[in-house]
Amino acid sequence: MKRSLATSIVVASLATGGGAAAQSVDELERNFAGSVQLDYMAVPTDDLAREDALDGATVELSMKLAMDFGDHVSSNVKVCVACHGLEVGMAFFDLRVADELNFRVGRFTPAFGEFPLRHDPANHRTSDKPLPYDMGRMLRTADWNMSVLPAPWVDNGLEVNGTHFFGDDVQVDYAAYAVGGPRGATDSLDFDYRQSRTPENYYVDNNSRPTVGAHLAWTVMSEHLIFMLGASGMTGTFDPENQQSFVVGGVQALMRIEGAFLRAEYLARRTEMSLGEDPASRFRYGPGEDGQFDPYFLKEGFYTELEVPVGRFDFVARWDGLRRRGNVMQMSELRSDSALLRYTLGGAFMLREGLRLKLSGELYDFSDFEDDVVVHLGIAGPF
């Protein structure tokens, strides 16, 4: 009898405790969201484009789980699958003290520029990204070693950010962060993006020094107009010996009138190359008038984009480009001053809720290679 009573008490208390636990779990707000894009990239002006680009069909998938722990703490975990395989794009906590003070801790995309806010394929109308933020879908991606700052730029660290509202129409956003930073090999000439995301090197900083950056934006918003101006910067070192520095800066502008967007961004990155023991045999161009080899190169990128919705269509016209100035390796097909201009016309047609068919044509105007035409046909949507 006593054993039966004790058992009943234990079961009852477990049930009560279990109920309380279940209730507390229910109080947590969870949300699952994601997006998928399947894109086919064709290069009709090139018989075998695979030598110059990652053409053909690619899938970009992202899945995000967000959880809120009350009003001041939330967490986000996001995984992405694309050409680079499975990657964790987000794994962070937001600790919010006020609108003006939020701490973001973990793995995230540090605040830089405007495009990274909408880097998800379901959030922009073209199948690919503007050249300053391209992550491998541009032609001649290996020759250019991608863009200025491939998006999304994911890294581990801490970010302090916030927003102050001046009335209902004006806001100022800021962010300052310290992250692991980009990586490159010892004696390298540029970033090595594969090192930034390969588990073989572990997901840790390669040189024991954080990269720091900041972002500031001023926005005017009304029912019919949004106007934003912003500036971003990031600096640090990227080689294991902490000897090669880089600094990247950018300015952004956005104007929205009714549903139409006009966007423009400019990015520039000054990167220090390793000269090696014998720069004369390593580089194509000789020393300057002072007899010294210039160890820096400057990579610039820009885009302007007009997006206009008309019924179920969203039309996009984009003009973007890259420019690289500085010495190059002996075997490089670039010169000391190389440029690429790209002209894009495209549109997205809403098939049904959330699902869009994307079609775009691009003309690549290279300074060092034959011009090429690219056609993208894709389907994308959130879920």
Partner 1 sequence: MTRRLLRHAACTTVTAVVFLTLWSCLPGPSLGRLLPGNRPHPVEIREACTVTAVKCTRCHNIDRVLVAQVTSPNQWEAYVARMRRMTASGITATDASRIVQCLVYRSSLGQEDRREAIVGN
Answer yes or no whether residue 373 interacts with partner 1 by CB under 8 A.
no
Segment lying near partner 1 (by CB under 8 A), choices 6-14, 66-74, 191-199, 280-288: 66-74
> Do residues 195 and 166 make contact, with C-beta atoms less than 8 angstroms apart?
no
Q: Which of 29, 51, 100, 241 binds partner 1 (CB under 8 A)?
A: 29
Measured from the CB atom, the residue of 135 and 217 that comes closer to partner 1 is 217
Q: Which residues contact 374 (CB under 8 A, 6 or more apart)?
A: 41, 42, 43, 53, 139, 361, 362, 364
Measured from the CB atom, the residue of 53 and 217 that comes closer to partner 1 is 217
Q: Per-residue x/- marks for partner 1, 79-108, CB under 8 A?
A: ---------------x-x--x--x------
Which residue blocks in 262-355 are alpha helix, DSSP H?
Answer: 279-282
Q: 85 vs 80, 106, 146, 287, CA distance in Å? A: 8, 21, 17, 41
Q: Which of 33, 77, 81, 105 binds partner 1 (CB under 8 A)?
A: 33
Q: How many CB atoms lie within 10 A of CB 339?
A: 16
Q: Which of 44, 286, 354, 361 binds partner 1 (CB under 8 A)?
A: 354
Measured from the CB atom, the residue of 135 and 340 that comes closer to partner 1 is 340
The residue with tokens 């992405």 is 80
Q: 298 vs 72, 146, 149, 267, 346, CA distance in Å? A: 42, 14, 13, 10, 30
What are the beta bridge partners of residue 219?
171, 228
Q: How far apart (Å, rounded) are the C-alpha atoms in residues 363 and 359? A: 14
> Do residues 284 and 327 make contact, with C-beta atoms less than 8 angstroms apart?
yes
Residues 166-225 that bind partner 1 (CB under 8 A): 168, 171, 173, 175, 215, 217, 219, 221, 223-224
End-to-end CA distance of the chain: 56
Residues 137-166 that bind partner 1 (CB under 8 A): 161-163, 165
Residue 169, classed as helix, strand or coil, is coil
Q: Per-residue x/- marks for partner 1, 280-319, CB under 8 A?
A: ------------------------x-x-xx----x----x
Q: Per-residue x/- marks for partner 1, 240-279, CB under 8 A?
A: ---------------xxxxxx-x-----------------
What are the beta bridge partners of residue 60?
37
List of residues contacting partner 1 (CB under 8 A): 29, 31-33, 66, 68, 71, 74, 94, 96, 99, 102, 111, 117-118, 120, 122-123, 161-163, 165, 168, 171, 173, 175, 215, 217, 219, 221, 223-224, 226, 228, 255-260, 262, 304, 306, 308-309, 314, 319, 321, 323, 337, 339, 341, 350, 352-354, 356, 367, 381-383
